[in-house]
Amino acid sequence: MADKTLEDLFYETLKDIYYAERKISKALPKMARGATDPKLKQAFLKHKEETDGQIERLQQVFELIGKRARGKTCPAIDGIIEEGEEILDEFKGTPALDAGLLAAAQAVEHYEISRYGTLRSWAMQLGLKDAVALLEATLAEESKTDDTLTQLAESAVNSAARKAA
């Protein structure tokens, strides 16, 4: 068995987040259609656009390391997205739907923040300065989206779910 390196780990994790972002890009329009709060719908649609740009950045990182952009099945994101779909099904038509969708979206954001933070750190260690810049740009977007979702939850969505109960 060959020795595995940080470069190998970086590449495998890059494939993981590439798969995840592509799955997220497909899930966001469904979440937007399911949401009833107009600001939440808009947040999902805005993040869909950002996600598509993040996929393009990931493709650039693959190019920088001389590898073809391809994904590797990510059971973690599959599970998080499946939970969001269950919320859509189980809470459809209820006041708690938007709060559940928002929570599912934040689970996705936290996963992404974790992955991008790790990849950025490894890119620094590997001397991949151009990759660091690309990964930092995405990490900043993911953090901003998480903040936006938190503000939306605390200012409107959670209290609307509670008041309607």
Nearest to 73 by CA among 7, 20, 9, 113: 20
Is the pLDDT at 164 greater than 70? The verdict is no
Confidence of residue 28 (pLDDT cuts 50, 70, 90): very high
Q: Which domains does the chain have, with CATH numbers?
A: 6-164 (1.20.1260.10)
Is the pLDDT at 165 greater than 60? The verdict is no
Give me the helices (H) in the chain, please. Answer: 6-34, 38-64, 75-90, 97-125, 129-152, 158-164
Is the pLDDT at 140 greater than 90? The verdict is yes
Confidence of residue 44 (pLDDT cuts 50, 70, 90): very high
Q: Which amino acid is at 151?
A: Q
Chain segment 51-107, per-residue pLDDT in tens: 999 999 999 999 999 999 999 999 999 999 999 999 999 999 888 999 999 999 999
* pLDDT of amino acid 1: 62
Pairwise CA distance, residues 7 & 23, whole Å:
25
* pLDDT of amino acid 154: 92
* pLDDT of amino acid 162: 84
Work out the average pLDDT over 9-31: 97
* pLDDT of amino acid 73: 97
